[in-house]
Amino acid sequence: MKRRSFLITTAATAMIASAGLPAFAEEPLKVGFIYVGPVGDMGWSYQHDQGRQAIEAEYGDKVQTTFMESVPEGPDAERALTQLALEGNNLIFATSFGYMDAVMNVAAKFPDVKFEHATGYKTADNVAVYDAKFFQGRAIQGTIAGRMTKSNKIGYIASFPIPEVIQGINSAYLHAKKVNPDVEMKVVWAYTWFDPAKEADAAAALIAEGVDVVMQHTDSTAPQAKAQEAGNVITFGQASDMGAFAPMPRVTSTIDNWAPYYVQRVGAMLDGSWASGATWGGIDTGMVEIGEISDAVPAEVKAEALALKDAIAAGTYHPFTGPLNKQDGSAWLAEGVTAEDGELAGMNFYVEGITAELPQ
Amino acid sequence: MTLGGIDIIALTAMLMTASTPVLLAATGELVAEKSGVLNLGVEGMMIMGAVGGFAVAVATGNPVLGFAAGALAGAALALLFAILTQVFLSNQVGTGLALTLFGLGLSALIGKSYEGIRPPATTKLDFGPLSELPVLGRVLFSHDWMVYLSLGLVAATWYVLNKTRVGLVLRAVGENHDAAHALGYRVIAVRIAALAFGGALAGLGGAYLSLVRVPQWTEGMTAGAGWIALAIVVFASWRAERVLIGAYLFGGITALQLQLQAAEYSIPVHLLSMAPYVITIVVLVILSAVHRHGVQAAPAALGKSFHASS
C-alpha cells in the first residue's frame, strides 16, 4: 500500500469511527470511562467499573471499552478526557462531580463525541448528566442509626461540600432525629474522595469524640476497618455493598447500581437514539439499592427500615417532606410539601438541628 | 485528659500513627539522597511494602514477618532502581517516576485477592507499670512497637550520618563522587546500599499503613504519602532531626485538624485542611533560613550519574 493511500484510509477509518455511522456496524462502538479512584477501591469507582463490565457483557463485540483510573479532579481530568476523545471513543463517562468543567470544555472541542457526567448539573447537546438519589439510602441509614446509637452521637465523614454530599448529611440527620430526638451529628470534612489513611484518621477522630455510628461519603473501606477495630461502632457500606465487613460493623449499605443505566445509554448510542438529558434515579428505578440488613440490627428496627424503603420506592414518602427549616431557623418546606428535584440538586445548606457549620 | 474539648491522649496516639509511614519513608529517602541519588519512586516502594507486608502478615498471621516482608519488597524495588540508574546509568528522575507507576500497578495486581481482609493485630509494647503513669504513660508508653522502632531508626540514621566513618563516606559520595572515587571508595556500591536502605524504610512505612494505620489493603492506598515524604526531605534541608520534626508536624496537624472538626471548633474547615501543608513548610523553611543552609544544603552530586571513566 502506498503511504499516501494508507494515510487516507487511516484518516477515513478514524472519521467513520468517530461518527459512529450505523452502516459500518462492524466497527465497535468505543466507550471510555474516567474514574476518580482506583477500580479496586471497593466503593465508588469499583461500582462504576461494574457498570462498564455490564456493557461488555451485554453488547460483546459491538463495543470496546477502556478506562482510566485515579484521574484527579481538575486540569488533569481535561487531559484524560481529551486523550479518550482523540483515541476515538464515541461515548465517554466521567464519573465524578469535580470533572464537570473539564467535561464541558472537552465536549465543546469534540462536538461529535457524546459525554455522560455523573452527579453534575451542566448539560450541552453532547453532554448528558446522571445521578442517583443517594439521600434515599441515607434516610434508611439515619433511621437505623437513630435507633441503634447508644451515645446519641453520629459521625459523618464527608468529602466535599457539594449538593450530593449535603443532601446525604441532611437526610441522615433528619431521619435519625425523627426516631431519636437526642441525636447529634458530627461532621468531618476529609476533602478527598479517596485516601484510605485520611479516611481512617477521620473515623478514628470521630470515634474518639464518642460517636458509635460512622457514616461515610468517601470511597474506600478504611472507615469500616477502623470501626471494626474499635469494636462497638456501626457503619454503612457506601456506594458498594462492602459486604466483607458484615454483619458488624457494616449493618447495611447503599449500593449505586449504574449497570442498567450504562447498558441503556450504550444501547441508545448503538441504535442512534442517544440524546442529552438529566437522569436522577432512585430506589424505584433500581439505581439505588439497599444492601442486606445484617443480624446486628434488631428485628423491629430492620422491619422499620424496610417499610421506609418500600414507601420511598412506591413514591408514597419523600425523605425531604415539610415542615422543615433550614439551619438558621428560616422556613424551607411547609407542612406536607416535598422538595423539588431541582432544589435538591443545588442544596447548599444544613437543615435545622445540625450544629456544625457548613464550609462554603 | 482533655484540653479545650480535645482528648490529648487520643490525639497523641493518632499523631504517632499518622506520622510513622511518612517518617519512615522520608528517613529512607534522606539516606538515599545523602549518597547523591534522587529516587522519586518512594510512592511505588511504599505501596509495594504495603501490599507485600499485608500479604505475608495475613498468610503467616504474624505482623513482624509482615513488616520484614514489607521492607524486603521496598528494598527489592529500590534495587531494581539501583541497577537501572547506577549500572545502566539511566536518568534518575525518569526512572524514579516509572518506579512509582510500576509499583502502583504491580501492587494492585498482587493485592487483588487481599481486598476486604483484616490483618493480624500489631501488638502494643508492654511497659508494665510505666504505661500506668497518668498522662505520660498513655502518651509515651502505649504505642505499638513499630512507632518506637521508627524513632530508633531516625536516631540511628542521624548518628550514622553525622558521627561515624560510614556516614562520612556516604556523604562524601553524595557531595563529590569523583573525589570519593579518587580516594578509593566504591561509589556505586555505596549508592546501591543507600538505595536499598531507603527502599526498605519506604517499604516499612507502607507496611505500617496497611497493617496498623488503616488497617487493610486497598489499591492505591498510599494516596500520595510518598510525595509528602520527598517534600519533607527537601524542607528538612537533608537533616535527620528535621525530618522527624517535619513528619510529626505534618502527621500531628493532620490528626489535629480532623479532631478539631469532630469537636466542632468554629475554625473554617478550608484553613484546617490546608494547615498540615502550610505549617510544615513554614516551620521547616524558617528552620533552614535560621541556619542559612537553605538551598546549599542539598548534596552537591544529587541526581548526577557516576561512571568511573568519566
Query: Nearest residue on chain B to A241, judged by CA atoms?
Result: B116
Does A23 score more than 50 pLDDT?
no
Instruction: Tell me the percentage of chain B whose pLDDT exceeds 90.
Output: 58
Instruction: Confirm or reject contact between A72 and chain B (CB < 8 A).
Output: no
Residue of A70, A198, A355 lying closest to B264 (CB–CB): A355
Mean pLDDT of A75-84: 94
**Separation between Cα atoms, residue B156 and residue B162, nearest integer Å:** 10
Where is pLDDT greater, at A32 or B124?
A: A32
Say if residue B122's pLDDT is above 60.
Answer: yes
Minimum-distance CB partner of B219 among A40, A186, A225: A40
For chain B, which residues make up each domain, given as ranges? Answer: 2-116+136-290
Better-scored residue on pLDDT, B121 or A282? A282
The domain limits of chain A are 2-132, 134-256+291-345
pLDDT at residue A15 is higher than 60: no
For residues A7-31, average pLDDT: 58
Please name the member of B18, B218, B266 whose beta carbon is closest to the beta carbon of A42.
B218
For residue B293, the distance in angstroms to the closest alpha carbon of chain A comes to: 33
Q: For chain B, say whether A229 makes contact (Cβ under 8 Å).
A: yes
pLDDT of amino acid B275: 85
Which of A174-188, A300-314, B152-166, B248-262 is predicted with the least confidence, judged by mean pLDDT? B248-262
Query: Which residue of A lies nearest to B107 if distances are taken between CA atoms?
Result: A40
Asked whether the beta carbons of B103 and B80 are under 8 A apart, the reply is no
* Cβ pair A194:B223 closer than 8 A: yes
Q: Report the pLDDT averaged over residues B1-7.
A: 67
pLDDT higher at B124 or A303: A303
Give how far B130 is from chain A: nearest CA, Å.
23
Residue A187 has pLDDT above 50, yes or no: yes
Residues of chain B contacting residue A191, judged by C-beta atoms under 8 Å apart:
269, 273
The order of strands in the sheet holding A29-34 is A63-68, A29-34, A91-94, A114-118, A127-132, A278-281
Interface check for B220 against chain A (CB to CB < 8 A): the answer is yes
**Cα B71 from chain centre:** 12
Percentage with pLDDT > 70 across chain B: 95
Q: How far is B284 from chain A (nearest CA, A)?
A: 23
Which residues from chain A sit within 8 angstroms of residue B123, using beta carbons? none
Does any CB of chain A come closer than 8 Å to the CB of residue B3?
A: no
Task: Say if strands A234-239 and A250-256 run parallel, antiparallel, or are unpaired.
Answer: parallel
Distance CA B134, CA B144 (A): 19
The Cα A274–Cα A265 span in angstroms is 7
- The answer to whether A130 contacts chain B (CB < 8 Å) is no
Q: Does B202 touch chain A (CB under 8 A)?
A: no
Q: Please give the pLDDT value at position A21.
A: 47
Indicate whether A152 pLDDT > 80: yes
Q: Are A205 and B259 an interchain contact pair (Cβ–Cβ within 8 Å)?
A: yes
* Mean local confidence (pLDDT), A325-338: 93
With an 8 Å Cβ cutoff, are B7 and A208 in contact?
Answer: yes
B81 CA to chain A: closest CA distance, Å?
A: 24
Residue B274's pLDDT is 85
Q: Is B7 on the interface with A (CB under 8 A)?
A: yes
DSSP state letter for A321: B
- Chain B residues in contact with A205 by the CB 8 A cut-off are 14, 255, 258-259, 261-262
- For β-strands A63-68 and A114-118, DSSP reports them as unpaired
In this complex, is the C-beta atom of B59 within 8 Å of any C-beta atom belonging to chain A?
no
Where does the pLDDT of residue A7 fall: very low under 50, low under 70, confident under 90, or very high at 90 and above?
very low
- Going by C-beta distance under 8 Å and a sequence separation of 6 or more, which residues neighbour residue A242? A42, A43, A221, A224, A250, A253, A291, B116
Model pLDDT for residues A119-149, shown as the tens digit of each residue: 988 999 999 999 999 999 999 999 999 999 9
pLDDT above 90: residue B98: yes
For residue B219, the chain A residues in CB contact (below 8 A) are 38-41
Q: A301 and chain B: CB distance < 8 Å anywhere?
A: no
> If you average pLDDT over residues B23-46, what whole number do you get?
96
Cβ A225–B216 below 8 Å, yes or no?
A: yes
Q: Please give the residue that has the higher pLDDT: either B219 or A172.
A: A172
pLDDT of amino acid B288: 75
| pLDDT for res B118 | 80
Give the nearest partner residue to B266 out of A201, A208, A357, using CB atoms: A357
Alpha-carbon Rg for chain B, nearest whole angstrom, is 20
**Interface with chain A: mutation pick from B2, B258, B266, B271, highest number of A CBs within 10 Å:** B258
Alpha helices (H) along chain B: 8-34, 42-60, 63-82, 92-111, 136-140, 145-163, 165-175, 177-182, 187-208, 225-235, 240-262, 269-290
Check CB contact under 8 Å for B223 and A192. yes
Fold of the CATH domain B2-116+136-290 = ABC transporter involved in vitamin B12 uptake, BtuC (1.10.3470)
| pLDDT given at position B219 | 87
Residue B5 has what pLDDT? 67
Asked if B21 reaches chain A (Cβ–Cβ under 8 Å), the answer is yes
- The rounded distance, in Å, linking the Cα atoms of B231 and B180 is 28
**Interchain CB distance below 8 Å, B108 and A356:** no
Residues A244, B220: C-beta atoms closer than 8 Å: no
pLDDT band at residue B3 under the 50/70/90 scheme: low
Residue B293 pLDDT more than 60? no
The pLDDT confidence band at residue B16, using thresholds 50, 70 and 90, is confident
Give yes or no for B126 touching A (CB within 8 A): no
CB of A359 less than 8 A from some CB of B: yes
Query: What value does the CA radius of gyration of chain A take, rounded to a whole number of Å?
Result: 22
Give the residue with greater pLDDT, A248 vs B67.
B67
What is the CATH class of A134-256+291-345? alpha beta
| Position with higher pLDDT, A219 vs A4 | A219
Model confidence over B198-239: pLDDT tens digits? 999 999 999 999 999 888 898 889 988 999 999 999 888 899
- Judged by a CB distance cut-off of 8 A, whether residue A192 touches chain B is yes
Q: What digits encode the pLDDT tens for the residues A235-288?
A: 999 999 998 888 889 999 999 999 999 999 999 999 999 999 999 999 999 999
C-alpha separations of B119 from B66, B114, B212 in Å: 10, 10, 9
Q: Per residue in A82-100, pLDDT tens?
A: 999 999 999 999 999 999 9
Interface probe for B, chosen from A71, A184, A207, A209 (most Cβ of B below 10 Å), is A209
Q: Which of B103, B92, B115, B108 is nearest to B37 (CA)?
A: B92
Q: pLDDT band at residue B269, thresholds of 50, 70 and 90?
A: confident
- Residue B270, pLDDT > 60, answer yes
- A2-132: what CATH class? alpha beta
Quote the pTM value: 0.84
Q: How far is B242 from chain A (nearest CA, A)?
A: 23
What are the φ/ψ torsions at residue A305 (nearest 5 degrees)?
-65, -45
Lowest mean pLDDT among A172-186, A303-317, B142-156, B272-286: B272-286
A317 to A136, A165, B124, B178, B195: CA distances (angstroms):
10, 21, 50, 78, 62
3-state DSSP assignment of residue B63:
helix
- Note whether A220 contacts B221, CB cutoff 8 Å: yes
Query: How far, in Å, CA of B20 to CA of B22, rounded?
Result: 6
Q: Please give the pLDDT value at position A2.
A: 46
Set of cell numbers at residue A113: 463525541
What ipTM did this prediction achieve?
A: 0.82
